[in-house]
Amino acid sequence: MTGLKKTIIRTGLETLYFSGAHVMMRPFVSGLGAILTLHHVRPARPDRFQPNRLLEVTPDFLESVLRYLRRAGFALVSLDEMHQRLIEEDFRQRFVCITIDDGYRDTLQCAYPILKREQVPFAVFIPTSFPDRLGELWWLALEAVVARNEHISILVNGEEQSLECRTLADKVHAYDQLYGWIRSFATEDELRNVVRDLSARYQVDIAAFCDDLCMNWEELTELAADPLVTIGAHTVNHVMLAKVSEQVARSEMAMSRAVIEASLGVRPDHLSYPVGDKTSAGPREFRIAAALGFKTAVTTRPGVLFASHRDHLTALPRISLNGEHQQLRYVRVLLSGAATAVWNGFQQVDAA
């Protein structure tokens, strides 16, 4: 995320918090509850260059969020329980679901002990190529290329371009440039090809990230045995589904469910769209997920849940616990619905 964007988000959250506006707006915009998104939960690292830091929070922060949620009277429920409450219109108590994407090993090592001790149900969304050790965590490969080199050359539209990566500021700029460029591609294939090419040029072993960072099937079996844990599907190859053909999108969703069922003996009823923003999941994906029989599917479109989401169960918004903003007051503002209401133009459901 660019520095400017971070500042705008932070300033907006601070303004809503310190002006008290989020308290005044809460009765109108807070909805029924929310689904929280986490990725890594692990101790803070000292590295100065951490372009993916938004994807990780510390165990201490997770603990303080859980304590706050209990204090504030939220019911902490599973996705099945949330689904039931939505379809039965049981809105007596505001609720929060905890979801953790990608199946990193720190989910088992750092998040699980806390959630277990607090008896909090949670869902883990697994891209099956990660435990199969065939996954490409391309955003980490990109980070490694920029971190380990002082200079990068890359082919853009057939022309050799070069990027300086000497200082921290150079690296932040180079990463933002590269990330923005590859996210603008129309297809997932183009993105993967550029990252594979860069990784080969600069000797970054993409496959190694799976082994280093992601749970294997044994570890997932251990986690899945706990009734607190819901295992959800997150496609096979962690693809941005809107950037592949309809046939591939459908098979990515269906295959990941079949592989999880075969490996863990549980058939996932819930799906998380990889990346999950508007460029990676839209009406076509919402329709396919519903047709495949998923009870719910979650995006990363920001928002809290309203009664009207009952009719859009495969297009649910979530609220990300962003590692760049690890302050309880931001969580309070986000769960008040005030920030997301402003970002969404006060529209409750965004399924278009």
Binding positions for Zn ion, rule: CB under 5 A: 101-102, 274
Shortest reach from residue 311's CB to Zn ion, in Å: 26
Classify the C-alpha dihedral 115-117-121-126 as positive or negative.
positive
With respect to Zn ion, which residue has the nearer C-beta, 322 or 348? 322
With respect to Zn ion, which residue has the nearer C-beta, 31 or 127? 127
C-beta atoms surrounding 103 within 10 Å? 27
Burial (CB < 10 A; 0-12, 13-18, 19+), residue 261, is middle
With respect to Zn ion, which residue has the nearer C-beta, 274 or 303? 274
Q: Which residues contact 82 (CB under 8 A, 6 or more apart)?
A: 33, 35, 95, 97, 296, 305
Shortest reach from residue 234's CB to Zn ion, in Å: 6
Spatial CA neighbour of 112 closest among 121, 57, 331 = 121
With respect to Zn ion, which residue has the nearer C-beta, 56 or 102? 102
Shortest reach from residue 347's CB to Zn ion, in Å: 25
With respect to Zn ion, which residue has the nearer C-beta, 122 or 306? 122
Q: How far is CA 257 from the centre of its chain?
A: 18
- Using CA atoms, how far apart are residues 101 and 121, in angstroms rounded to an integer? 15
Across 180-263, where does the E strand assignment appear? 229-233
Shortest reach from residue 39's CB to Zn ion, in Å: 7
- Using CA atoms, how far apart are residues 284 and 3, in angstroms rounded to an integer? 33
With respect to Zn ion, which residue has the nearer C-beta, 274 or 317? 274
Spatial CA neighbour of 98 closest among 71, 78, 74 = 78
Report whether 77 contacts 94 (CB < 8 A).
no
Shortest reach from residue 323's CB to Zn ion, in Å: 15
Report whether 130 contacts 238 (CB < 8 A).
yes
Shortest reach from residue 339's CB to Zn ion, in Å: 23
Residue, CB closest to Zn ion: 101
Shortest reach from residue 101's CB to Zn ion, in Å: 4
With respect to Zn ion, which residue has the nearer C-beta, 31 or 274? 274
